[in-house]
Amino acid sequence: MKTLLNNTLFALAALSAGAPLAQAQTYPVKPVRFIIPFPPGGPTDLMGRTAANRLTKAFGVQFIADNRAGAGGNIGTELCAKSPPDGYTVCMFTVAQSISPAIYKKLGYDPLKDFAPVTLMAILPSMLTTHPSLPVKNVKELVALAKSRPGQMSYASTGNGTSPHMLMEMFKSTAGIDVVHIPYKGQAPAVVDQIAGQVQLAFNTAVTVLPHVQQGKLKPIAISTKERFPPMPDLQTVDEGGVKGYDGGRARSPPASRRTNSRSFSRPKWRNGRRSPKRPTSSSTERCNA
């Protein structure tokens, strides 16, 4: 599992309480908004909806998945940061939100001050794929073709500063090639256009593009991490393919929401054969101004 979960990092965080948690005796006592800052169908959406479903079952209160995509995840994240700091808004965080302060002059949130991480959810490897029509079978052939066509090929990403963007830019820099960046709102629309041939290349979360690879809609070239991808053990890593020193296994970071004590999401206990969530009182919630 450690080898499989090794490239895209997802985490969860909760919105901070600037005042006691609505002066409630228990938490949660009403539905919780769960913001997913990318569109449906991608890895962040998949992880977010899974988490929302598990939290709903664990606490007996509905966690409502709310997709708010755009700007590399910044639209949904800013919405989360500006929500009331009462503990009833949580959101997904990806590496993009850690990188955004370095590439956006104006950002509507501070990833360090406005959020309190709750838990790391997963670290997932990415797969370098091409459209089946591209006459390449491996990293060496892809690099050679790109060098023969500088600026003529394009790649899709899930937005500026996201992991697919960073992985490909690192690949371009290390391999010495020139490929045009086409940003999308999320992986699902990016993959649709890649399958249609609108873009030729992309790094995408391996587990979500695997079905397209198995159906022959996308061609696998390499895996981004130092370790191979267990479901496809014969697929080389980028490093093994000839771009020495390439390691995309640490290019990710976790999801969050504004500073609410992570103890609000403590593991539920089992009582009399049934799962009974422990509901902490408002006194266990940090009273910090977000």
> Which 3 state secondary structure label does DSSP give 230?
coil
Two structure tokens written together for 233: 């053990």
Higher-pLDDT residue of 144 and 286 is 144
Q: What is the pLDDT of residue 178?
A: 97
Higher-pLDDT residue of 196 and 251 is 196
pLDDT for residue 95 is more than 90: no
Q: What is the pLDDT of residue 233?
A: 95
pLDDT grade, residue 94 (50/70/90)? confident
Pairing of strands 180-183, 219-223: unpaired
Side chain identity at 181, as an amino acid letter? H
Per-residue pLDDT tens digits for 167-176: 999 999 999 9
Q: Whole-model pTM above 0.75?
A: no
Mean pLDDT, range 203-225, rounded to an integer: 94
pLDDT grade, residue 154 (50/70/90)? very high
Query: DSSP class of residue 2?
Result: T
Pairing of strands 89-93, 32-36: parallel
Q: What is the pLDDT of residue 14?
A: 53
Q: What residue ranges in the chain does DSSP mark as E strands?
A: 8-14, 32-36, 63-67, 89-93, 116-124, 126-130, 154-157, 180-183, 201-205, 219-223, 269-271, 274-276
pLDDT grade, residue 72 (50/70/90)? confident
Q: What is the pLDDT of residue 167?
A: 93
Mean pLDDT, range 198-214, rounded to an integer: 94
Side chain identity at 17, as an amino acid letter? A
Mean pLDDT, range 149-162, rounded to an integer: 92
Pairing of strands 63-67, 32-36: parallel
What whole-number percentage of the chain has pLDDT above 70? Answer: 77
pLDDT for residue 24 is more than 50: no
Residue 140 to residues 119, 147, 166: CA-CA distances in angstroms? Answer: 39, 11, 20
pLDDT for residue 274 is more than 50: no
Mean pLDDT, range 38-57, rounded to an integer: 86
Two structure tokens written together for 215: 């159906």
- DSSP codes, 93-162: E-HHHHHHHHH-SS-S--TTTS-EEEEEEEEE-EEEEE-TTSS--SHHHHHHHHHHSTTT-EEEESSTTS
Mean pLDDT, range 77-105, rounded to an integer: 83
Mean pLDDT rounded to a whole number for the chain: 79
pLDDT for residue 3 is more than 80: no
pLDDT grade, residue 190 (50/70/90)? very high
Residue 90 to residues 3, 191, 273: CA-CA distances in angstroms? Answer: 28, 27, 29
pLDDT for residue 287 is more than 80: no
> Which 3 state secondary structure label does DSSP give 14?
strand
Two structure tokens written together for 193: 């256009």
Per-residue pLDDT tens digits for 234-270: 999 999 999 999 988 643 333 444 555 444 454 444 3
Two structure tokens written together for 9: 């990092």
Mean pLDDT, range 60-66, rounded to an integer: 93
What whole-number percentage of the chain has pLDDT above 90? Answer: 43
What domains are defined for the chain?
8-124+252-284 (3.40.190.150), 126-223 (3.40.190.10)
Cα 117 to Cα 205: distance, rounded to the nearest angstrom: 22
Higher-pLDDT residue of 248 and 216 is 216
